[in-house]
A = this chain, B = another copy of it.
Amino acid sequence: MVAEIFRELGYEGATMSLITARTRVSKGSLYHFFPGGKEEMAGEILAHIDEWFAINVYEPLEREAAAAAVARMWGAVDEYFRSGRRICLVGAFALDETRDRFGSVIRGYFRRWIDALEGALVRSGVDAATARRLAEEAVVGIQGGLTVARALKDKTIFSRTLGRLRQRIDAAIAGA
């Protein structure tokens, strides 16, 4: 709910007044739950996102049968970003002045995603160099797809991007 306000308007755009108005929770209560104020709220939202990706993306990629985990990733990503209607808050924070504030979380999000996908591809028989290249390409492509989809107000761009990346990775797994 609050996360959606940040996703829609960015860190600066999501003012406390707007958050109280939309959640119908007063500032007093908001500061009761988040004594650290806005920064703590955003921090917990980022932690929640990281937890979701850990459970639904990173851990399956790290632990489950590689091909199945990769297949599962596409579904999870498509679901999470609502097929392109939602942007990636971590990516958005990486581009503005919040970058420094949440730098380590932002770095961890992208690094772990790329590393986990690379690992799964290696385990499924793809050679190391190709796995690294494909993993980086996938995470980069997803971010770009979300950005351009929102810029053009055309969510089909994200779907097509996801489809292209999936096809390429599936081919590498099949050919391994």
**A interface residues, Cβ below 8 angstroms from B:** 8-10, 12-13, 87, 90-92, 94-97, 99, 106-107, 109-111, 133, 136-137, 139-145, 147-148, 150-153, 157, 160-161, 164
In the A-B complex, list the 9 residue pairs whose CB atoms are closest, starting with the nearest. Answer: A144-B144, A12-B12, A10-B96, A13-B97, A94-B151, A140-B144, A143-B144, A9-B97, A92-B95
Inter-subunit contact B147/A95 (CB<8 Å):
yes
Interchain Cβ contacts under 8 Å between A and B, 26 examples = A8-B97, A9-B96, A10-B97, A12-B13, A12-B97, A87-B95, A91-B147, A91-B151, A94-B148, A95-B147, A99-B150, A110-B151, A110-B152, A136-B148, A136-B160, A136-B161, A137-B161, A137-B164, A139-B148, A140-B144, A140-B157, A141-B141, A141-B144, A144-B145, A144-B147, A147-B147
Which residues of B lie under 8 Å from residue A153 when comparing CB positions? 107
Give the CA-CA distance A69 to B151 in the complex, in Å.
Answer: 25
- In the bound complex, residues from chain B placing their C-beta under 8 Å from that of A145 are 140, 144
Q: Give the number of copies in the complex.
A: 2
Give A147 Cβ to nearest chain B Cβ, in Å: 5
Chain B residues whose CB sits within 8 angstroms of the CB of A150 once the complex forms: 94-95, 99
Contact A157 B144 (CB under 8 A): no
- A161's partner among B94, B99, B140 (CB-CB below 8 A) is B140
Partner of A141, one of B87, B96, B140: B140
Q: Which residues of B contact A107 (CB under 8 A)?
A: 151-153
Inter-chain contacts of A111 with B (CB < 8 A): 152
For residue A30, give the distance in angstroms from its CB to the closest CB of chain B: 20
- In the complex formed, the residue of B with least CB distance to A93 is B151
Q: What residues of chain B lie closer than 8 Å to A147, measured between beta carbons?
A: 91, 94-95, 140, 143-144, 147
